[in-house]
Amino acid sequence: MTETTHFDIALIGSGSANSFPGPEFAGRSIVQIDRGVGPDQVFGGTCINLGCIPTKMFVHTADLAHTPADSARFGLTEQLRHVDWPAIRDRIFGRIDAISVGGEEYRRDHEDNANLTLLRGTARFVGPKTLQVTGNDGSEGADRTISADTIVLGAGSRPVLPSIDGLAEAAPHTSDTIMRVEQLPASLAILGSGVIAVEMAHIFASLGVEVTLIARSQQVLSSADADVSARLTEILEQRLRLEKGLSTTSVRRTGDGIELRGEQDGAEVLIRAEELLVAVGRRPNSDLLDVAAAGIDTAADGRVEVDAHQRVLGDGEVLEGLWAFGDLSSAHQLKHVANHEQRIVRHNILHPEQLRRSDTMPVPSGVFSHPQVAWVGMDEEAARRSGREVRVAVQEYASIAYGWALEDTTGFAKIIIDAQTTEILGAHLIGAEATTLIQQLIQAMSTGQTARDIATTQYWIHPAMPELIENALLQLVP
């Protein structure tokens, strides 16, 4: 029988979880168990290694590469003569990989972590507050049984591979692998139409790859406001091959690449591409943790159930000493949500008599497609269903001076407010720098400022892009 090693705190994960240890816990023994992310099981979590940061570094490069396609309307002639994919890839991961390696070395060897034991492996519950750790190949974590008074779960999520005939055997790419390919494929089919799919479509199309985006629904980015989703769908239809309303039935890898078959409007469709990227969503790693063995509740999508203080629930009740945060338990797969929830967990463990809530701020979304998309709060349909009397303003980029400079004929901002109080209920943007422009509305919603407050109590730079927000607000509170 394997001997059980007891710790004061067991910490699962190395993404936002990696910010948990610190001098406040110097008197407690901590074991940090990390499976790693991606096929190489690297340390540091999804955001830095496989998600937010490398994708945005690729997006910036893609934005530069796309510039010649827009140059003619400005009276310029530009050409994209060459794409050095290895140089692009290695610039990005040359920086990121060093951070991952350094982070693991720090946790394992630095004197700051004298009270911390790092185990590289997969943890799974074998009972309440008891974990079996199966080590990564060659690691010291193999076949260890761990118990702890406090267990903090920050195990994250991973890409979903849907149950489609032949898909797994075809060895498609996911966001875990597509950014590290040896060379650019001549053509790429992308299965999915959400955030990751449209960002990857922008990246690879800008770099000269023939992209086919396969959407099961009739619009891309269906989680966005309906008008924003419709506008982005129109734009992508002009830029790449967009197959809407296509239900994939089978995938095969052939000597020439990938053959994907599906049904669309009652007819069979065949799509051929050199490579396939599957980007249909992510799933929490609760199944790898076998949380049921610890009596932990999960939602229908596998998320670990927590209360507003991030305490884990079992049979609807708080399970003392168990905490969870980030993609494992949150519907919002956003790094700053995970960071905030981790800070809440940390505070609440240190100060159990002064519990804080994690659900006090609106959660925004940003999509680094071309054009960018950003939103926060209710969409128009939800706001009208809420029973409130609402007012809605739509301001086109083309209506402001800086929009003229950009020659932007498709972008707009939509702001939704309570007609009586002018409380901002939601904001939705599509266009250049949408992810930056929306921040002033996020701040207003988070601090309790109304549309009237921010529209009438400050000067706005002229002519600059924030005038888009100013003019939309002035429609609502003239």
Selecting among 60, 110, 351, 462, the annotated active-site residue is: 462
In the DSSP assignment, the letter for residue 52 is H
Going by the annotation, the residues of the binding site are 56, 192-199, 281, 327
In the DSSP assignment, the letter for residue 45 is -
Count of CB atoms within 10 A of residue 247's CB?
Answer: 11
Residue 110 designated active-site: no
Q: How far apart are CA 12 and CA 361, in angstroms?
A: 26
Q: How far apart are CA 261 and CA 167, in angstroms?
A: 11
Going by the annotation, the residues of the binding site for NAD(+) are 192-199, 281
Q: How far apart are CA 306 and CA 295, in angstroms?
A: 13
Which candidate, 437, 442, 387, places its Cα nearest to that of 411?
437
Which candidate, 14, 84, 25, places its Cα nearest to that of 49?
14
Going by the annotation, the residues of the binding site for FAD are 56, 327
Residues β-bridged to residue 130:
127, 147
With 0-12 / 13-18 / 19 or more C-beta atoms within 10 angstroms meaning exposed / middle / buried, residue 393 is: middle
* Beta pairing class for 187-191 and 275-278: parallel
In whole angstroms, how far apart are CA 111 and each of 19, 117, 139, 236, 427? 16, 12, 21, 52, 47
Question: CB–CB of 24/109 below 8 Å?
Answer: no
Q: How far apart are CA 467 and CA 469, in angstroms?
A: 5
* Phi-psi domain of 392 (left: phi exceeds 0; alpha: psi -120 through 50; beta: other): beta
End-to-end CA distance of the chain: 75
With 0-12 / 13-18 / 19 or more C-beta atoms within 10 angstroms meaning exposed / middle / buried, residue 475 is: middle
In whole angstroms, how far apart are CA 392 and each of 115, 148, 230, 379? 55, 52, 17, 10
Residues β-bridged to residue 418:
390
Helix axes 195-206, 52-70, angle to 10 degrees: 50
- Alpha-carbon Rg for the chain in angstroms: 24
Residue type, 258: I
Backbone angles phi, psi at 39, to 5 degrees: -65, -25
Q: How far apart are CA 158 and CA 327, in angstroms?
A: 9
Count of CB atoms within 10 A of residue 70's CB?
Answer: 13
202 Cβ partners below 8 Å, 6+ apart? 59, 62, 66, 368, 369, 370
Residues β-bridged to residue 394:
414
Active site residues: 462
